[in-house]
Structure 1
Amino acid sequence: MSTRPRPGVLRDPDFRRLFAATAFGQLGDRVVFLALPLIAITALRADEFQVGLLTTMTTAGSLLVGLPAGAWVDRMRKRSVLVSTDLARALVLLTLPLAWWADLLSIWWLYTVALVHGVLTVFFDVAHVSFLPHLVGRDQLMEGNSKLSAIRSVTSISGPGLAGPLVGWVGAPVTVLVSSVGMALSGVLATGIRTRERKPEPSRQPRLGRDIGEGLKFVLRHAGLRAITLGDATFNLFLVMYQAMLLVFLEREIGLGSFGIGVVLSGMGCGALVGALVAARVSRWVGQGPVIWLAPLVTCPPTALMASARPGWSVCVAVVGIAGLSLGGVVRVVAQSSFQQALAPDRLLGRVSATARFVSWGVIPLGGLSGGALGSAFGAAATLWIGAVGMTLSAVPTFFSPLRTLRTAPKEEAAALAR
């Protein structure tokens, strides 16, 4: 792994290639985020529970393969995983417009595509997080994560802004073509990255259970990593409840069309972009540990404004609240991702990332089901209230942990944990 000092990550040609690949891949991902539920809501006329079940299928991959994905990725070169999963996701998404044109598209086809795409995304995300320390060195993780978060945020603005009018013009199923092309371009660009991490040496007696156990042990032994994982799990559970009913609320209770929904989601992207631009500075000013619990405590309560919104100007005020949620979310994720990457040794990067993801993302399918069930029983607005309260409470585990005052990840502790 390269550790030489560099003047800035964007001056590295390989980081620029990863940056460009991330831009196209995330554009595709943001279009999918809007298009899949709109296919269910507008094209297939799905009810609230079916929309919640779609969210579950989209995120069930973390629960199904979350732990073994880390062990498998640690046995492979990460760049190869990035390329292969991007191209596979592009092909899977391509089946949606083809099924639509053949008049074969059904809610079950949509569920299947969402599930397969989600499983592939688990492998992609684990490899992406694990590859960055090899590419930029551990001393530039905060900058690298901030730059990648910035481009994700730009696509969070442009993706829904592009997808909304496209859905209105050609329909949600055909709009998925943009996602397929974006992910294919991401895979092609990643093939140009010349930096090759050393191929992991195969274990004399490779055992999946033992490899998974190493990642679990590393995360559970560190109080800060345990708190981050538990806080993330709480946040994601209630965030997905909130998101599962947000599009239903906007389309059926506020009366927004696909263009208006795209504008609302672009507002969330604006908040994420601001968060990416200030994340490194805020972490240095407040401290890497405190910012992890302060961000949700400050930025989650205003999301309740959406539940009280009515057609008209109050929607604009509510968008400010969810933009703040995105801002705080990016600041928190940049800080905790950099903390996690700095602590994990090279040989465990994939497993540590996968373990944290398994626990914190494994609850997301439950969040989708709960959101759909609560929406059916009490309505979309009540579910948004519940989501706002739960996301705010996600600050509790990290507040009552050493992260409350910890400014940076101690290198000597990382070395001790790796033994």
Structure 2
Amino acid sequence: MSAHVTSSPAASRPTARGGLLRHHDFRWLLSGAAVSQIGTQVTLVALPLVAVIGLHAPAFQVGLLTAAETAAFLLVGLPAGAWVDRMRRLPLLIRTDLVRAVAMGSVPLAAAFDVLTMIQLYVVALVTGVATVFFDVAHQSYLPRVLPREHLVSGNGALETARSAAQVAGPGLGGVLVQILGAPAAIVANAVSYLVSAVCLRGIRTREPRPEAVPGVSLGAQIKEGLAFVLRHPLLRMIAVSTGVANFFSAMLVSVQTVFLVRELGLPPGVLGLMLSGSAVGGLTGALCAGPIARMVGQARVIWLATVVSGPFALLWPLAGRGAAAIWFAVASAAVFFGAVVYNVAQVSFRQLLCPDALLGRMNATLRFMVWGTMPLGALAGGAIAGAAGPRAAVWVCAAGFLLVPLPLLLSPLRRMRDLPDPDQDAAPPAEPAPDPADGAARPPSVTT
């Protein structure tokens, strides 16, 4: 593998004729993301079924498992960004894929020797979650290194298309694998997908220079710099609040949906997987339509409009029943997923354009902390409500919560804008870090170009 170092993707920029798929490095990045996303979606079905069917866990313990998967965003989300900005991102992506492969591979191994417990599932979920925090922050921060600015929206759209396609194929595949092999054996697919992702990432030629250490600047100061960048920008701040609310109630749904679909609606694993695959068609459609919709209505307007239009469909979730009435769950999920993906493509692309490269890790980690840190809280709340009042009551609360998602966006300057401002002119600069007595010297101002 070549050791060539390049500080920008200009040498391998996609041409109008070739398109993104002819861009060597992006092709490998996209391939790895697509394969690992399929494995992740298989586990989305298989891991809760290990708890529900294999270990007969009650609703609260299943909710706790979901909380463990996302707790890392709350526990290490902020320092992860500062650490990522101190490292080369590509080697970090490969290492975290390998950690996730080993953690997931331990589940079918323990099940084969009949020693699998809920404690191990919690540990695996937590370890995988920590690795995912670093992977996701590094991945979002690495994309602008691979693609030039003018192709970021298309690149994010392609990644969302791969994610949404995996959400269509993965759950159905997971349900079939669980039906045939059992839930623990199905998780092998996820472990293998992380290994394949690591191999794909090794095929990327773009190499980053090692980030230069800034003398006298502590980890805490770099974390504060990322926080200041996000909190002082009026658009990023309200996007973070809205996304955090959406993720709180999404995690609530994920924590109870397996219990709801299996015990309330009586779906077998294979049908459950097909139900989730069918509902993910909305996300795939949203990924394919995100670019044209943004161009038609405006990149700023589409951010709040997507949530306003899709959110009310969540009220169909708790109306699902046994037999044919179960279809309402899939219809609601398809509509909500459509809006969520259109929203994500627009706002993530804006974030990447807005932020200087040296601050990307901290900006993404700060936003991940704010918007994904709500997920373990939502999962715990869902498990608690389902344990006390039943899974359908938890789904009702989740559905009502989705109506709140657009409110922060409608109260922000986005409501009066068609397109997003030019990041070079309107980005709010981060605050200059204050001297830290422990450093023994005042810190130099940060580079924000």
TM-score if structure 2 supplies the norm length? 0.91
Alpha carbons 1:297, 1:393 under 8 Å: kept: no
What is residue 380 of structure 1 aligned with on the other side? 391
Structure 1 distance, partners of 2:239, 2:124, is: 31
Offset at residue 417 of structure 1 (A) = 2.1
Alpha carbons 2:171, 2:276 under 8 Å: kept: yes
Structure 2 distance, partners of 1:409, 1:279, is: 19
What is residue 408 of structure 1 aligned with on the other side? 420
Alpha carbons 2:286, 2:338 under 8 Å: kept: yes
Alpha carbons 1:293, 1:395 under 8 Å: kept: yes
What is residue 251 of structure 2 aligned with on the other side? 240
Alignment map for 1:257-336 (pairs within 5 Å): 257-336=268-347
What is residue 6 of structure 1 aligned with on the other side? 15
Alpha carbons 1:272, 1:327 under 8 Å: kept: yes
Offset at residue 5 of structure 1 (A) = 6.8
What is residue 86 of structure 2 aligned with on the other side? 75
Out of 95, 98, 118, the position equivalent to 2:109 is 98
Alpha carbons 2:238, 2:409 under 8 Å: kept: yes
What is residue 56 of structure 1 aligned with on the other side? 67
What is residue 45 of structure 2 aligned with on the other side? 34
Amino acid at match of 2:312: P
Alignment map for 1:9-408 (pairs within 5 Å): 9-406=20-417, 407-408=419-420
Structure 1 distance, partners of 2:9, 2:91, is: 19
Structure 1, unaligned runs of 5 or more: none
Task: State which drifts further: 198-207 or 393-402.
Answer: 198-207
Alpha carbons 1:75, 1:202 under 8 Å: kept: yes
Offset at residue 306 of structure 1 (A) = 2.2
Structure 2 distance, partners of 1:197, 1:408, is: 29
Q: Percent identity?
A: 47
Structure 2 distance, partners of 1:146, 1:224, is: 21
Structure 2, unaligned runs of 5 or more: 1-7, 431-447
Amino acid at match of 1:410: D
Amino acid at match of 1:405: R
Offset at residue 288 of structure 1 (A) = 1.7
Amino acid at match of 2:423: K
Structure 2 distance, partners of 1:160, 1:141, is: 28
Which structure has the bigger radius of gyration?
2
Offset at residue 200 of structure 1 (A) = 1.3
Structure 2 distance, partners of 1:318, 1:95, is: 33
Alpha carbons 1:342, 1:414 under 8 Å: kept: no
Amino acid at match of 2:112: W
Structure 2 distance, partners of 1:96, 1:234, is: 32
Amino acid at match of 1:301: P
Offset at residue 10 of structure 1 (A) = 1.7
Structure 1 distance, partners of 2:95, 2:333, is: 34
Structure 2 distance, partners of 1:28, 1:233, is: 25
Amino acid at match of 2:422: P
Distance verdict in 2 for CA 1:52–1:415, change over 3 Å: closer
Structure 1 distance, partners of 2:124, 2:427, is: 42
Q: How many residues are treated as equivalent by the alignment?
A: 419
Structure 2 distance, partners of 1:198, 1:289, is: 34
What is residue 3 of structure 2 aligned with on the other side? none
Structure 2 distance, partners of 1:343, 1:143, is: 16
What is residue 444 of structure 2 aligned with on the other side? none
Alpha carbons 1:287, 1:405 under 8 Å: kept: no
Offset at residue 324 of structure 1 (A) = 0.8
More helix per residue: 1
Amino acid at match of 2:380: L
Offset at residue 9 of structure 1 (A) = 1.8
Offset at residue 414 of structure 1 (A) = 5.0
Offset at residue 367 of structure 1 (A) = 0.5
Structure 2 distance, partners of 1:103, 1:199, is: 46
Amino acid at match of 1:12: H
Q: Name the SS for the 1:334 alignment partner.
A: helix
Structure 1 distance, partners of 2:14, 2:116, is: 53
Alpha carbons 1:344, 1:414 under 8 Å: kept: no
Amino acid at match of 1:204: P
Deviations 1:148-203 (A, max 9, x none): 10011111111111110110111111111000000110011100100113321111
Task: State which drifts further: 235-244 or 213-222.
Answer: 235-244
Structure 1 distance, partners of 2:188, 2:9, is: 38
Offset at residue 334 of structure 1 (A) = 0.7
Q: Name the SS for the 1:60 alignment partner.
A: helix
Alpha carbons 1:86, 1:187 under 8 Å: kept: yes
Alpha carbons 1:218, 1:417 under 8 Å: kept: yes
Offset at residue 415 of structure 1 (A) = 5.4
Offset at residue 304 of structure 1 (A) = 1.9
Distance verdict in 2 for CA 1:414–1:86, change over 3 Å: farther
Structure 2 distance, partners of 1:5, 1:377, is: 54
Alpha carbons 2:9, 2:206 under 8 Å: kept: no
What is residue 441 of structure 2 aligned with on the other side? none
Structure 1 distance, partners of 2:293, 2:403, is: 20
Deviations 1:287-343 (A, max 9, x none): 222222221221122122121111122212331111111111111111110011111
Offset at residue 416 of structure 1 (A) = 5.3
Amino acid at match of 1:72: W
Structure 2 distance, partners of 1:416, 1:92, is: 40
Structure 2 distance, partners of 1:161, 1:309, is: 19
Structure 1 distance, partners of 2:140, 2:428, is: 22
